[in-house]
Structure 1
Amino acid sequence: MPKRTRFTTWRPLATAATAALLATLVTPAAAHAAPRGSEPVYSYADAVREAVWVDTGLDGDRDGRTDRVAVDIVRPREPARQGRKVPVIMDASPYYSCCGRGNESQKKTYDANGDVVRMPLYYDNYFVPRGYAVVGVDLAGTSRSDGCVDVGGRSDVRSAKAVVDWLNGRGVAYTTRTGTTRADAGWTNGRTGMIGKSWDGTIANGVAATGVRGLETIVPISAISSWYDYYFQQGAPLYDSGPDWLSNYVNSPDARAKCGAVQQKLADGAPRSGDWTPLWSERDYVKAARKVRASVFLVHGMQDLNVRMKHVGQWWDALARHGVERKIWLSQTGHVDPFDFRRATWVETLHRWFDHELMGYDNGIDREPMADIERAPDRWTTSRTWPPSGTRAATLRPGQGAQDGVGTLGLRRGHGTASFTDDPALSETDWAAAIDRATPEKAGFVTRPLVRDLRLSGSSEVTVTATPSTSAAHLSAVLVDIGPATIRDYADSGEGITTLTDRTCWGASTTGDSACFKETKAKTADVDYTIVSRGWADLGTHASARKGAPLTPGKRYTITLDLAATDHVVPRGHRLALIIAGTDRGLIDPPQADRPRLTLDLPRTSARVPFTGGAAAFARATSGAAPATPDDALLDGVREPRTTQRVPEGSR
């Protein structure tokens, strides 16, 4: 059964031995009061550092023996001496050797015995003194593990799930990679929380979707919820490579020599046609949300153009349908860890979350707002629930405007047609910059200036009825806030942050593992418009989102594009725009056709957008305002989105 909301029935996990220890750690005046959270009472310098190899039961590299994955452990020494067991914070990653973790690309380092000296990131420095074990798992096929990387498939997920099973007494581990001496996990109570950014967080999603017992919570940061939606959206290719390339990118040298068959299976199972195959079904965690027992604390950048916000909306909605306990942070950044955009608050919040979920402290985090949302650089608001209560979809309709090529957007059904010609050299930034001008590569529709703020929250969809001139065509739909603002510059190389030289420290350090990390600050841009949400599709998938077909030039087709989830307030005086166009340069690849021309049937084209207050709120916000006067000047936005990053990596 899926895990239901359990905060209301939470019971502390403290044993009599724990209570006795705590009594010795507080002053006499405070001894009568239960602590509100774990404290750094254990020695990090004396922590146990060890490695084990967990048997996955698979033989991905086909060498005749089951694959073992390397598990590096840092845990406080004192609890075991006192006969007490500790919970686990676990980060399973393909990046510990090839690429590094965090903003400073830290890799694991080892001593002469093969025990970990530096565990990347701050988790061990901070949480081990507070009574947690921190575990870093090398996914199968990476670093010191056997097997092959299969990019979110059975091997990836089982690499980590097998470790959760071992921590809970259901698996087998060994003290060496090839030896027969078994390793015991008697030092832990099995209560495990998984955390990680990008691919690491994706594995947390995948393991949670197995329903494994003992996994109490996951904290997926910038994580994938369905691997198809990493490479395609409704048949439109988002990247010019597939999972076979990515597998080779992170496989260890030993795995590259053994894993040709896995590479070929990935290539064959992920055709560049964009059709859905069994390979994608295996890597779709959304469909298994009903199995999730763990709570979920989800963190994502609303301008993440690597792991895009569609992954948030579909995962969040599926978890909600199955009653999974959850919390969310949404920032203005791109693919950035919260440690680097809201450090002090993040460390405190994560500490309280793990204390509540893994140690059972009644610290009140369950009674706080569900969502934290960044409205402007370093300015955050909260929502009791997300999307907020009273949010309902309104159907917005494009219409012809007073000026040819500059349409309207409102609640009344439009009339006529609008046409554009796909120009693969242009992107959403070009379209938005020319929103008040008729340009051949887009169809733009804009509301009047708002007379009050209007909040969008959740996932939108745009239904397009279009007649193509060619046998193949791609579509993009973009919602844009037209008006001046200062935002995080997500198109910059830092994706919204600037790394400084000063360091701050978060936990205890040793000679080989410092708890001190470079500080960051917001990298901002002053803009005339802000992209709010995006969606793409191959028009050939009009009959089925899972399989494309050639188009008949001159024939009319209707398709609905899913737009990414967001939470954005369009301020009073700004306008909301809908843009429909072809190839969004850098974000989807062009179709196999020579610049198709598409004609939109406006009465049969619409957008369903979730507003707080629904259609009535939109009507109030757009009533009584004077029409906007189109400006011949180009508007300023961020630069064209970065297109060089083709892997869901987390080195930032």
Structure 2
Amino acid sequence: MKTAPLLALLGGAMMSAYAWSAPEYIADVDIPSFDGTQLDANLFVPETPPPEGGYPTVIFTNSWGLEKHQYHFQAKELAENGYLVLSYSTRGFGFSGGLVDVAGANSIADVGVLIDWLEANYPVGKLGMAGISYGAGISLLSAAQHPRVDAVAAMSGWADVVEALYPNETVNLVWGGLLVGTAFRKEAELTHLWSDLRNGQNMESVIEFAAKRSAVSYVDELNANGTAVLLSNNFADYLFKPNSMTDFYSLLEGPKKLLLNPGTHAITETLTGNYGHIWTTTFRWFDHHLKGADNGIDREPKVDMTVRISNKLEHFEDYPVTQESTTWYLRPRFTMFDNGSMKGSKYSGWSWRNEFHGGADTFAGTGIPLISDALEGFGIPVYTPMLAINGYFAIEYKSPVQWETLKIRGEPQLEMWVKPSKKEVQLNAHLYDVGPLGLGRLITHAPITLHSDQSGQMQKFDLELFTTSYDVPPGHRVVLAIDTQGLIYQKPDNTNYTIEVPYSSSKVSSLTVPHL
């Protein structure tokens, strides 16, 4: 028997089946919104017949400055698996009309129009929304206000706009300026609000604007809707820090999952996806909540956390992932050329004080803005020569040597007494892993700007450093380095100030580190 004709026949049948199952791609769809604004979209339509109840459907929403083609490959893959997929450009971006309103009422109303259009033209089943950055925020806000959204995958999104652009009352200058400067068709209000924030004026209006656009303001609606929410954020995302997202996650009562990854804002999801884990989990999330697939994702641990630098993936039942912590108490340095120390017992010696000054940045920092943070996602850390940190403009405290691996997981907490010489002063706290050669790898950091009439008086502040997952190797120390400026933050107008740190039995400062 000759097999060649049979193989040819089978091959042809397989090719025909593949062609039959390939989704239809409609490259340009113009959808008029409620106010006549044209929204530019594209659409993948499965060639397979719709299941009973309609196609599982996903709407992709673009990141800031991007447009409808951003998720082309992900949309195509979903469509090949039976999904109806619409990708669109939000108003003010791409070829969509209108003006950027930062996930305002118009943008959220647009989503309702898109859902109406889909339901009027196709058999729509359960519906999901997904996006990175701006698309993540709009997806969460839309799901809260449109109960027809059954599931969300929000990657590098925000829960609190104020925390993003004004962390601990510190203006996020680099990221805020980048956002405002790259929205070329925006409502004039955005420019005015950014100016007010930078100048510390009309703050009630700024906060009101931000609250309306913050997912945490609508957590009750999401819970009432029963929306299945997948959140993914990155440790070195200094725009949408993971802290507010972990708080938001804790408030959700419906199906939920949290991914915490190395890397910076949107880069991890866009380039590597944490070795594919983020997008694979997103597809499984939709398969279960939109298609009804029994793939086990609802029975798995709710939190996936990838360790910085090593990129080791860990799974935890919930967040916070540990109740264990170690508290170190800050001890004085005796000259500006020395370091202070951190020990497990409270300081009880003679009253002492140290000083450091504003007016200059130091080697303590987050590296090159955006670039260093992006490299971390590939396992390339930020190194700092600790001996080069100027003791006149900064102060350092070193822990005991760690003889076992210290697995830091969560948000370190700093409680510190200071006496600032001016009403407005800024402090940048950096936590380092320092080896025997004196090179420090950044574990986490956080800024805080004190605005107080208590200049010249002792005051205590509490600072939650940004969420992290980091393993300090045996033989290394943890070092806390504090200075008064950071490259990504707006510094006070007058930086000619002194920070005095007191030490006494009544003025005890401490650092608490959560760990496994």
**Bin for the TM-score computed over the shorter chain:** 0.7 to 0.9
- The aligned amino acid for 1:482 is V
Q: 1:439, 1:426 → 2: CA distance?
A: 9
Q: 1:232, 1:280 → 2: CA distance?
A: 11
Return the structure number with greater helix share. 2
| 1:538 matched to 2:488 | no
Partner of 1:87: 56
Partner of 1:223: 157
Q: 2:411, 2:116 → 1: CA distance?
A: 35
| 1:570 matched to 2:472 | yes
The DSSP-based 3-state class of the residue aligned with 1:289 is: helix
Q: 1:376, 1:281 → 2: CA distance?
A: 31
1:470-485 correspondence to structure 2 within 5 Å: 470-483=422-435
CA contact (8 A) 1:92 1:160 kept: no
Q: 1:383 to 1:246 in 2, by over 3 A?
A: closer
- The aligned amino acid for 2:418 is A
Q: 1:328, 1:79 → 2: CA distance?
A: 34
Partner of 1:76: 46
Q: 1:397 to 1:187 in 2, by over 3 A?
A: same
Partner of 1:528: 439
Partner of 1:51: 29
CA contact (8 A) 1:42 1:130 kept: no
The DSSP-based 3-state class of the residue aligned with 1:444 is: strand
Q: 2:318, 2:261 → 1: CA distance?
A: 14
Q: 1:611 to 1:329 in 2, by over 3 A?
A: same
Q: 1:40, 1:356 → 2: CA distance?
A: 25
CA contact (8 A) 1:148 1:155 kept: no
Q: 1:374, 1:40 → 2: CA distance?
A: 37
| 1:273 matched to 2:200 | yes
| 1:338 matched to 2:273 | no
| 1:212 matched to 2:113 | no
Q: 1:83 to 1:220 in 2, by over 3 A?
A: closer
- The aligned amino acid for 1:468 is P
| 1:156 matched to 2:107 | yes
1:257-336 correspondence to structure 2 within 5 Å: 259-260=187-188, 262-263=189-190, 266-267=193-194, 270=197, 272-273=199-200, 275=203, 277-292=207-222, 293-305=226-238, 307-309=239-241, 312-335=242-265, 336=267
Q: 1:165 to 1:229 in 2, by over 3 A?
A: farther
Q: CA deviation at 1:593?
A: 1.0
Partner of 2:499: 598
The DSSP-based 3-state class of the residue aligned with 1:320 is: helix
- The aligned amino acid for 2:161 is W
- The aligned amino acid for 1:315 is M
Partner of 1:419: 355
Q: 1:322 to 1:240 in 2, by over 3 A?
A: closer
Report 1 or 2 for greater relative contact order, CA contacts < 8 Å, sequence distance ≥ 6: 1
CA contact (8 A) 1:54 1:71 kept: no
Q: 2:318, 2:466 → 1: CA distance?
A: 15
Q: 1:286 to 1:483 in 2, by over 3 A?
A: farther
Q: 1:152, 1:574 → 2: CA distance?
A: 45
CA contact (8 A) 1:89 1:132 kept: yes
CA contact (8 A) 1:42 1:131 kept: no
Q: 2:308, 2:446 → 1: CA distance?
A: 23
| 1:187 matched to 2:123 | yes
Partner of 2:9: none
CA contact (8 A) 2:308 2:470 kept: no
- The aligned amino acid for 1:86 is Y
The DSSP-based 3-state class of the residue aligned with 2:78 is: helix
Q: CA deviation at 1:389?
A: 5.0
- The aligned amino acid for 1:153 is G
Q: 1:212 to 1:269 in 2, by over 3 A?
A: farther
Q: CA deviation at 1:55?
A: 2.8
CA contact (8 A) 1:301 1:332 kept: yes
1:371-386 correspondence to structure 2 within 5 Å: 371-375=303-307, 377=309, 379-386=311-318
Aligned with residue 135 of structure 1, among 86, 110, 113: 86
The DSSP-based 3-state class of the residue aligned with 1:122 is: helix
Q: CA deviation at 1:211?
A: 4.8
| 1:202 matched to 2:202 | no
Q: 1:425 to 1:451 in 2, by over 3 A?
A: closer
Q: 1:87 to 1:50 in 2, by over 3 A?
A: farther
Partner of 2:11: none
CA contact (8 A) 1:468 1:555 kept: yes
Partner of 2:98: 147
Q: 2:512, 2:311 → 1: CA distance?
A: 28
Q: 1:249 to 1:539 in 2, by over 3 A?
A: same
Q: CA deviation at 1:94?
A: 5.7
CA contact (8 A) 1:197 1:337 kept: no
Q: 1:338 to 1:232 in 2, by over 3 A?
A: same
CA contact (8 A) 1:476 1:583 kept: yes
Partner of 1:10: none
Q: 1:119 to 1:476 in 2, by over 3 A?
A: closer
| 1:557 matched to 2:491 | no
Q: 1:222, 1:185 → 2: CA distance?
A: 32
Could you tell me which runs of 5 or more consecutive residues in structure 2 were left unpaired when the two chains were aligned.
1-16, 368-382
Residues 481-533 of structure 1: CA deviation (Å, up to 9, x unaligned): 22389xxxxxxxxxxxxxxxxxxxxxxxxxxxxxxxxxxxxxxxxx9322122
| 1:465 matched to 2:417 | yes
Q: CA deviation at 1:165?
A: 5.8
CA contact (8 A) 1:484 1:529 kept: no
Q: 1:377, 1:40 → 2: CA distance?
A: 42
Q: CA deviation at 1:46?
A: 3.5
Q: CA deviation at 1:142?
A: 2.6
CA contact (8 A) 2:360 2:393 kept: no
CA contact (8 A) 1:151 1:246 kept: no
Q: 1:122, 1:41 → 2: CA distance?
A: 18
The DSSP-based 3-state class of the residue aligned with 2:440 is: strand
Aligned with residue 403 of structure 2, among 451, 462, 468: 451
CA contact (8 A) 1:392 1:611 kept: yes
Q: 2:148, 2:98 → 1: CA distance?
A: 25
Could you tell me which runs of 5 or more consecutive residues in structure 1 were left unpaired when the two chains were aligned.
1-38, 57-64, 101-106, 109-117, 170-183, 486-526, 541-548, 613-652
The TM-score, its normalising length taken from structure 1, stands at: 0.64
CA contact (8 A) 2:154 2:231 kept: yes
Percent identical across equivalent pairs?
A: 18
Aligned with residue 299 of structure 2, among 361, 367, 370: 367
Q: 2:436, 2:302 → 1: CA distance?
A: 29
Partner of 2:74: 123
Q: CA deviation at 1:447?
A: 0.9
CA contact (8 A) 1:450 1:573 kept: yes
Q: 1:468, 1:74 → 2: CA distance?
A: 59
